[in-house]
Amino acid sequence: PIHLPHSIEPIEYHYNNDEKFSTILWYRKTLPFNLFSATKRNVIEFEGVATRSSVYLNGNLACIHDGGFTPFTIDIPQELLNEKKDIVLVVKADASETLPIAPYGGVIDYVVPVGIYREVFLYITEKEYIENCFTYSRKGTSFDKRELLTEVTLHIDEKKREEYEIEQLILDQEKRVIHSSTFILHASLCKEHYEVEGIELWSIKTPTLYTIGTILKKRGKEIDREEHSFGFRDVEFRSDGFFLNGELVKLRGLNRHQQYPYVGFAMPKRGQQSDADFLKYTLGVQIVRTAHYPQSRHFLDRCDEIGLLVFTEIPGWQHISKEEQWRRGVLSQLKEMIIRDRNHPSVILWGVRINESADDDELYGRTNEASHFLDPSRQTGGVRNIASSHLLEDVYTYNDFSIPHLEKADKITKRKGSPYLVSEHTGHMYPVRRSEGAEKNTHLALHHYHKLNSLYKEHSISGAIGWCMSDYLTHQEFGSPDNICYHGVSDQFRILKQAGYVYASMSEEAPVLSLSGDFSIGSYPAHARRNIYAYTNCDSISLYYNGEFVKEYFPDRKTFSHLPHPPIIIDDVIGKRLEKETSFTHSEQKIIKSILLSLTKNQMNLSLMNKIKMFYLMKKKHMEYKDALSFVEKYLFNWTKGENEWRIVGIKDNKEVKEITLGPIKETHLTIEADTSTLLIEDTYDLTRVVVKEIDQYNNVCDLSNKAIEIETDPQLTLIGPRVVSLIGGIASFYVKTNGREGTGEIKVKCERESVHTSIEVKR
């Protein structure tokens, strides 16, 4: 049997044939009759099926749903229930890219793996029920009050509506009722508003959530109940920036694909939640764009809980069809997205254009109108890559891949007063693999630094959302020969590249210190060591060589004057080390140092002026060529009899808060760590990522290691993916999932003569 979430198998880490994703899968399940109630409403909800779903009940077509990213339901017909027999549920999942459904119709820079890749639920309710409840708030009649507006859509007997009433409760974090209101019904759509006080606002730093409970009563008796989380907040994009609860917030963010190694889109709750945590706590961003489609409710729920803002959008990629069926489908997917997600306080902007599509006033007039009708509380945006585009949305959202800086807003919009948001930058302009070496990774990191510096410089740019969070699978028209786009600030397993530390270092949550390179001359052409960048939020860093202080370095505010935390450049590894050369005066030491540093910057070549300086000193001090060369060997090549050990210390508020030690590697060993030590069998299987590293005696990753490892699991756990994998850049990752068995399961990793293990408890 297969277990949901599910997608086509196998999905390789790379070198996938992109055609295999766009195929057809059939699913069949027999539902015992005793699951159902013959006197009530029985409904099956599909949360996500790629991409056209044809659902059959006992051989009869019950439903066709177009759209792979939003939920749909089917009601079990009463005539089937009256038969009192088991019901055979068959689902045809069709992800053929010839279907007249967005995102299909043209080339697409991502894949949509076929399958029932989200959960499926059976609900049993009364035949009179709450279909949907939407709530939003705004400022009340005084500063300490909020007005709550609610829309409740009901399925009731309209002729007897006087028998029904709605009670709405607001519960705080301890589930205490802090407000209650009752409404008499006048129609199946109930719209009401009321004021509440003593409310704590939802924000990035304090994402306070309340529960809105809506109870449908008939003749005083409860017959249905709906609950959802809710946050009171005000959001607005203006020409001078983005405001949350009246405070200006510079939005620093990343785009996210909901794609994972070996499973594609089919990731259960924990993995979805982990991505939100990764963005908020590891990468330190304030906003994520769900490129280029609506994403898992588990991801959005976690964004609500932790205060991560979301810009979500309709599916697509550049192509717009003239076929009315395709265009109606865009509107249907938009409506389903908004109805599903409009109660999430984290969602601050609706994307109502096909990503990077041309202007289409007819279609986008309809999408904007539908969005404002379904949700009057949020603005609309539309991602484009053309300047001076027709602006039907509230916010001009633009993919800016200019180099090295972001363009000014008025140059792109050509109109004053329009709110402006950069929805993509960098990414495909400099693709790089995590293991591709320091130089290329540093270039990518510096591109992100320059774009973020532009963001903080320009008041008219409300935010900049980088492309993208992680590498992802794509079609043959894009990406590398292995059909991966290496555009991420992390790899597919969410292991940071250098560029990831650029974002992490902008945060104040915890000390960050990572280096762009090492001090080994063999890492650099001609032994000419390049500048080493420290990605850090420290006030300064101090460098020590074999325990001896070299120099203190400070953020590069000359180049990156607007960043909260510019990089710190280690451009001088000589520092005070020359002071022990007492046979030279201080001014002569300065000349020697300038010559040595010039050698590193110019691939061991000297300018005419430096050659003159060198020969002047050699003659003055009666030095031979070998004497001059000894300075190069000692201070640039570090050919000494000592340990050749470098220590980099991060200093914040005059305290040492972080350090890195580098030196000759004398021993290595493997480490293993799972993201969690406990897995829960709930609505679906649970899983966790496991990360294996080869590290040296200083706990640094051996980033040139590509050893093969073999993975074994106890019966309580099932490995996802191959049993034998190689370290990539010194790191290997994989997933293990539950399979219905409880208990403590061990994961063992073997590599040559070494093995490491960790244990995970599985429980219900």
**Which residues contact residue 244 at a Cβ distance below 8 angstroms, ignoring those fewer than 6 apart?**
203, 204, 233, 234, 235, 309
The active-site residue out of 128, 424, 458, 694 is 424
CATH homologous superfamily for 18-125? Galactose-binding domain-like (2.60.120.260)
pLDDT band at 624 (very low <50, low <70, confident <90, very high): confident
- pLDDT tens-digit map of 437-491: 899 999 999 999 999 999 999 999 999 999 999 999 999 998 889 999 999 999 9
pLDDT higher than 90, residue 522: no
424 annotated active-site? yes
Q: Pull the structure tokens for residue 369.
A: 């109108």
- Determine the angle formed by the axes of helices 269-277 and 297-306, rounding to 10 degrees: 40
CA pair distance 432, 296, nearest whole angstrom = 28
**Which residues contact residue 239 at a Cβ distance below 8 angstroms, ignoring those fewer than 6 apart?**
416, 417, 418, 419, 420, 460
Share the mean pLDDT of the chain: 94
The active-site residue out of 356, 393, 407, 458 is 356
pLDDT higher than 80, residue 603: no
- Counted residue by residue, the chain has a size of 764
For domain 235-509, give the CATH number.
Answer: 3.20.20.80
Q: What is the pLDDT of residue 122?
A: 97
CA pair distance 515, 648, nearest whole angstrom = 9
CA pair distance 764, 209, nearest whole angstrom = 27
CA pair distance 416, 407, nearest whole angstrom = 15
Class for the domain spanning 668-763: mainly beta
pLDDT higher than 90, residue 56: yes
- pLDDT tens-digit map of 67-122: 999 999 999 999 999 999 999 999 999 999 999 999 999 999 999 999 999 999 99
What is the torsional sign of CA 483, 489, 495, 497? positive
Burial profile 161-193: b = 16 or more Cβ within 10 angstroms, e = fewer? beebbbebbbbbeeeeeebebebebeebebebe
CA pair distance 387, 407, nearest whole angstrom = 10
Q: Pull the structure tokens for residue 742.
A: 């409880």
pLDDT higher than 80, residue 602: no
Q: Pull the structure tokens for residue 291.
A: 């490129």
What is the torsional sign of CA 736, 739, 745, 751? negative
pLDDT band at 406 (very low <50, low <70, confident <90, very high): very high
Q: Where are the domains of the chain?
A: 18-125, 235-509, 521-662, 668-763
Nearest Cα residue to 492 out of 505, 482, 507: 482
356 annotated active-site? yes
